[in-house]
Structure 1
Amino acid sequence: MALLLGAKGEDLLTRRGTAEFVEQVRQGLYARMAHLSAGDEELLLLGVRSTLEEELAAEQRCREDFSRALDETDQAEDVQELILVQDRLRAMAVDHFRRRGSVTAFHLMRTVALDRITGAALRITVSQMAVGGVGLPAGRWCWMALGSAGRGEVGRFDACDFLLVHEGNEAGSSFVGFSGRGAGLLERLGIRSRAGITPASSSWRGSLAEWRQRIAVRALEGGGDLDWLIRLADLRLVAGDPSLAAEMVNVVRSALTAQIDPLREIARRTAMMQSGFDFFGRLRVERGMFNLSLYGIGPIVANVRIMTVRFDIQETATTERIRGLLYGGRIDVELAERLLRAWHCFCRHAIQREIAGENGILVDVEEFGEDAEHELHASLEAVGSLQKIVYSSISGQG
């Protein structure tokens, strides 16, 4: 079964996965029914239908409850009310993951919750500034996410990076207080950046013209600064003006389009990220722990992103980028499915450990059964196949 819950619309991978799943179910039913009487066959099929109807009803209830909780964020008047709603939304996402095990559905629920809570926090910030007689933001603005939050792959709220874009250089001073107060309120909600990437810092806020200049300077300098620019390809609007956000995205894309030759060196380095296998083909562990981020999640994100940047694929989510590469003819169906399974494998283990309150990126492979270890090996092999394609198709070796 293809691991595509939360996918946008129907596509080739969805149809293939659905067809495979239905065929497996059909074969299982036929094998069971071969030993039943005619009456019992009908009872079995009725039981299957009843179970499916119950599952569909449960999913519908989950969507409705989650939607109602999201709507409550729009009514919240202070941080304490937001905290209560936030806790409910998190509990719903965790409960759904425990029941369904869907990485994409978990990321989607957490991302939607992050966006609505952030939007509500910024609304409350503006309201408090107005009541306090503090100068309000002058003109349009947009609060944008990058990193995992930008890609819509939110797991933990304490790993969310944001920047602010506003219009008009002369309006910049009016956004200083707004950015600081907004970021401070988000921190009280546990929504913060581990790397200090926040609009509270002048480095991460500015007018569109200022951002265009910063990007141009970074692109001109190249090297490590180009890595910074490539990471901006993950930008996604969270709150504020959509048209201004679209302009910012276009600035980033235009700058990246002009960097084809420097991108080759970045792609070469990305394709040569350290493998999760050691010299003898064993899992690379340190003190018995395997690093999911260093050898799994990180390489998939980086290699898929560099390919989508090079071939101008506009998606930001890793799973959607993989589809974009498939339909752009950059990878085949087999590798696309292997990469989606690998992504699910790595992220599933990470989410399980985070829910348990442990370090989400380190797993003890000694606790794995044979099937789980085989899945991890296959996932790392898919990453290796992707890196070979990146090296040959972008770095100029093929």
Structure 2
Amino acid sequence: MGDPVWTQLLARIGSADQVEELRSLRDQVHEQMEALLPTRPVEQFNDYLNEMHDAVISRAVALAETQMARMGMGSPPVPYAYLLFGSGGRKEQTLSSDQDSGVVYEDPVSDSAKVKQYFKQLTDIIVGNLQTSGYPPCEGNVLSNNSEWCLSLSEWRAKLGHWFEEPAWESVRYLLIVADGRGVYGNQDLVDAFKDCFFTDMLNHPIIVRRMLENTMRHKVLLGVFGHLLKERYGADAGSLDIKYGAYIPMVNSIRLMSIHKGIRETATLERIKRLVQTGVLPEADARQYEQAFRIFLRLRLMTTERMENGFYANNGKISSSKLTKEMADELKSSLRIGKRLQRLVMKKTMGRLM
């Protein structure tokens, strides 16, 4: 990390000729970074870790293009961009990560069916490459080879418009997924146009805004009414703390909703907080507290149990409470109180807009 060995590993990822080589290099980086986690500032560690994921994913896409050419399918018929959603879109992946992805491509001038077939074949190869590299497919099928998430720009515009007009729970969930989207490979102008489709209509649909608030508030922080940490009570994870859904996700959701309202296009949570200060939504003193709380959530989330399942890196977002020192537990409690305060602020600001 910041040394010649790290730089060399990234360079080797960027020039890998085989998917199996990508997996081997990712394994090397994984081992190196797992050992360095306790000694590095969390933001620095997070930045380097996500740089590694971006490098592996980008190379997997490039190798898929090469394979398509070898199969006689030629180069991409129109410009396109490969999109990441979820923690990948927010640049907040852990050592393990699944595939939350999509594609936007330029509207073809002719033979749209042939173009669509090309991208179907390409994304099938990409998904396979990433599986070989240790990334399992998204359980919710938000995946680039799903025809619902691999569309031309005009098709995306129509789909987003439909989701905005339809206040169903699934539509709102998909819109929040799109809000975290960013391009990791390909044409950035298409990514910008894709995000334009989202932000142009956002504030014209107050019902959707209300539904987004409901979605944002559904995950509660793992702090009891008496200030104690709420541990898992049953099963194999009994006694553990759900850092992902009881600490990290509530803050991600709150900051995301505030950012959407202001048209902020940054996707990383800490970047969004900085922009919320710049736009006058958050006072600097409050923002510093939110940033510090989020850094603690990030570090604890990176400490959650990593394991291998069927050849994939996996992580359920939970950590054994025995891994926390008293100081860490106290920091977590303090940060969760800040997270609760943020949720109340988001509720107040959003409901104020809807009155």
With normalisation by structure 1, the TM-score equals 0.78
Instruction: Give 1:58-69 correspondences, 5 Å limit.
Output: 62-69=2-9
Deviation track 1:72-128 (CA, whole Å, cap 9, x = no partner) reads: 22321111222222223333433432322x222222112211222222122221222
One-letter identity of the residue aligned with 1:172: K
1:189 to 109, 114, 133: 133
**What secondary structure, in the 3-state scheme, does the structure 2 residue paired with 1:250 have?**
helix
* Aligned-partner Cα distance in 1 for 2:346–2:3: 39
Task: Return closer, same or farther for 1:106/1:133 CA change in 2, 3 Å cut-off.
Answer: same
Who is 2:173 aligned against?
Answer: 227
Cα deviation code 1:233-281 (max 9, x no counterpart):
1111111111111111211222323334531342255246424222333
Note the aligned Cα RMSD (angstroms).
2.3
Structure 2: which amino acid aligns with 1:235?
Answer: G
Aligned positions of 1:125-164 closer than 5 A: 125-164=64-103
Structure-2 residue corresponding to 1:96: 36
Corresponding residue number in structure 2 for 1:290: 241
Of 272, 276, 282, the residue aligned with 1:331 is 282
Higher mean alpha-carbon deviation, 173-182 vs 76-85, is at 76-85
Residue of structure 2 equivalent to 1:382: 338
Deviation at 1:365, TM superposition (A): 2.8
Q: Which one has the bigger helix percentage? A: 1
Q: In 2, distance between residues paired with 1:333 and 1:315? A: 18
Q: Deviation string for 1:269-317 (max 9, x for gaps)?
A: 5246424222333222222222112220010000000000011122110
2:326 equivalent in structure 1: 370
Q: Give aligned-pair identity as a percent.
A: 23
Equivalent residue letter for 2:267: T
Larger relative contact order (CA 8 Å, sep ≥ 6): 2
Query: What residue number does 1:212 align with?
Result: 157
Rounded to whole Å, the distance in 2 between the matches of 1:367 and 1:107 is: 20
Contact 1:315 1:321 in 2 (8 A): yes
Show the 5 A alignment for 1:11-90: 62-90=2-30
CA distance in 2, matches of 1:122, 1:356: 26
How far residue 337 of structure 1 moved from its aligned partner, in angstroms, is 2.0
Q: How has the CA–CA distance of structure 1 residues 275 and 123 changed in structure 2, closer, same or farther, with 3 Å as cutoff?
A: closer
What is aligned with 2:311?
none
Distance 2:168 2:47 in 1: 34
The answer for the alignment partner of 1:318 in structure 2 is 269
Q: Is the 8 A contact 1:272 1:387 kept in 2?
A: no
Q: 1:359 to 1:272 in 2, by over 3 A?
A: closer
Alpha-carbon contact 2:247-2:339 (below 8 Å) kept: yes
* AA aligned opposite 2:148: S
2:209 matches 1:263: yes
C-alpha distance in 1 between matches for 2:321 and 2:26: 33
* In structure 1, C-alpha distance between the alignment counterparts of 2:164 and 2:87, rounded to whole Å: 23
Q: In the alignment, does 2:342 pair up with 1:396?
A: no
Q: Which sits farther off after the overlay, 377-386 or 228-237?
A: 228-237
* Separation (CA, whole Å) in 1 of partners of 2:319 and 2:305: 11
1:142/1:240 contact within 8 Å kept = yes
Is contact 2:224-2:230 (8 Å) kept? yes
Kept after mapping to 1: 8 A contact 2:95/2:302: no
Contact 1:150 1:234 in 2 (8 A): yes
Q: Say which SS state the counterpart of residue 290 (structure 1) adopts.
A: strand
Question: Residue 157 and residue 203 in structure 1: after superposition, are their counterparts in 2 closer, same or farther (change >3 A)?
Answer: farther
Partner in structure 2 of residue 346 of structure 1: 297
**Contact kept? 1:183, 1:199, Cα under 8 Å:** yes
CA distance in 2 between counterparts of 1:366 and 1:94 reads 19
Letter in 1 for 2:167: G
1:269 and 1:121 map into 2 onto residues whose CA distance is: 33
Q: Unaligned 5+ residue runs, structure 2? A: 234-238, 309-313
Distance 1:285 1:157, change over 3 A: closer
Instruction: Tell me which residue corresponds to 1:180.
Output: 124
Closer, same or farther in 2 for the Cα pair 1:262/1:93, shift >3 Å?
Answer: same
Change (3 A) 1:275 1:152: closer
